[in-house]
Structure formats: structure tokens, C-alpha cells
Amino acid sequence: MRDAISINYCMYCQKPNETSPTWKSLLDHRYQTLKCEQCARKFCRMDETIDGVFCMFDFNEEMREYFHRLKFMKDVLLVYMFQQEIYDTLKKFQQTYPHHIITPIPMHEENKKIRTFAHVDELLRAAGVPFSHALRKITTETQSKKTRRQRLETKKLFETISDVKYKHFIVFDDIKTTGVTMKLAKEALIEAGAASVELIAFSGGNSKRPNQTTSFMKK
């Protein structure tokens, strides 16, 4: 089920935004543009694979501020800002990988109680993307509070919560920095018998090196 909301202002800067959805746009799976052109330009598309993770957007200062407002100021309506981009990207992936199940990186239940919502789930839900949980996080430690070295030394973060044998998955997360979180999620699925795992991050860090990137959306 696709969640559609209609507002007449930019969700990011609150300035008036005159666009509104039409029946044609809804039937064509097009959402109303919920950010003004000026704000939209602040977020840089990447659509590139870095260290095995497909990154939709660059994790620049504006994206950092976006996630601060979403995750820590609990401005949950911001999940609707990028619903079209998430919908389009995952639809294209599922056309390439039609048998893959989309599964979000989970929060630990204790952390979820504190935040009151799982923001990765909400990004997918706002975009109308069906998903299924296959993993459970086994530690309350958050990667964002660790140094780069501590992240790279992390050995285990997840365990499976359902039978994943012979199934194919697309793991979706909000931010890729070192890539350790998604790497460990993939390892947990593969060790439990998953047939294959693709990795997508909504935004990615600036660790890009010329010989490690490939484009997906441009193919």
C-alpha cells in the first residue's frame, strides 16, 4: 500500500511549494514533490556501487542534517521527502532481481523503544515498498558512536529470525559509512543459507575510490 500525502509547502524548509498530485501521477506511481527545487539541489544523487553497496545519495552535510532531524529530533514526516526516489530505485532493482525480498537493517528493540520508531522501516513504508524483516540486531551498541577502527573490528551484529534458506534478499539501510553494518547483515543471511544478498544504502559516505565504483541506475 502506497502512502500519499498532500501538502502545499516544502517539507524541509517549510517554504510554499505549489505542486500537487494529480490522478495521472498517482496512477503512474508518481508522488507529489514534497521538497522545493532549492532544497532538492542540496541532496546529491550518487547511484553508484561502493565496496559492494549501492548508494542512492551522497552523505553530505545536508543529508547529515536531514537524518539528524529525522532520527534524533523525531521529525518522522521527513520520511516522505524521498518516497519517489526510494520507490523508483527499489522498483528498478526488483526488475533486475525479481525474486529478491527487501529486508531493512533492523534496530535493536531497546533502541526502538527509545526512538519510538524504526526510521529505515518508515522510509520504505512511506515509499510504498513491501518489505519483510529477516534479521534481528543482537546488540544495543550503535555504529555511529564507534570510531572507524571500532566499526571495522565488529564481528557480529545480527542473527536471522526466519528461515532464509535458498531465498534472495535486498538489504536496505539508511547510511553507509565503513559498510561494516551491511557486510555483517549479508554475512548473517548467507551463513543461515540465503542464496544471494544485494545491498542498498539510501546514502553513502565519501570513501569512493575510482576503481571501486560502478553505476547501476544508468544501465
The half-sphere exposure of 177 on its side-chain side, counting CA atoms within 13 A, is: 15
- pLDDT for the residue 29: 60
Sheet arrangement for strand 213-215: 100-104, 168-176, 196-204, 53-58, 45-50, 213-215
Residues 117, 197: contact at Cβ < 8 Å? no
Q: Which domains does the chain have, with CATH numbers?
A: 43-215 (3.40.50)
Q: Decide: helix, strand or coil at residue 200.
A: strand
Residue 212's pLDDT is: 40
pLDDT tens by residue, 170-196: 999 999 988 999 999 999 999 999 999
Cα dihedral angle (169, 174, 180, 184), rounded to 10 degrees?
-30
* Dihedral-angle region of residue 132 (phi above 0 means left; psi in -120 to 50 means alpha; beta otherwise): beta
pLDDT reported for residue 213: 40
Between vectors from CA 201 to CA 199 and to CA 202, what angle results, nearest 5°? 150
Q: Which amino acid is at 214?
A: T
Q: Give the predicted TM-score (pTM) of the model.
A: 0.84
Residue 210, pLDDT > 80, answer no
Q: Could you tell me the three cell numbers for 79?
A: 520520511
What is the rounded average pLDDT of the residues 74-100? 95
Nearest residue to 17 (alpha-carbon basis) of 33, 28, 4, 1: 33
- Bridge partners (DSSP) of residue 137 are 158
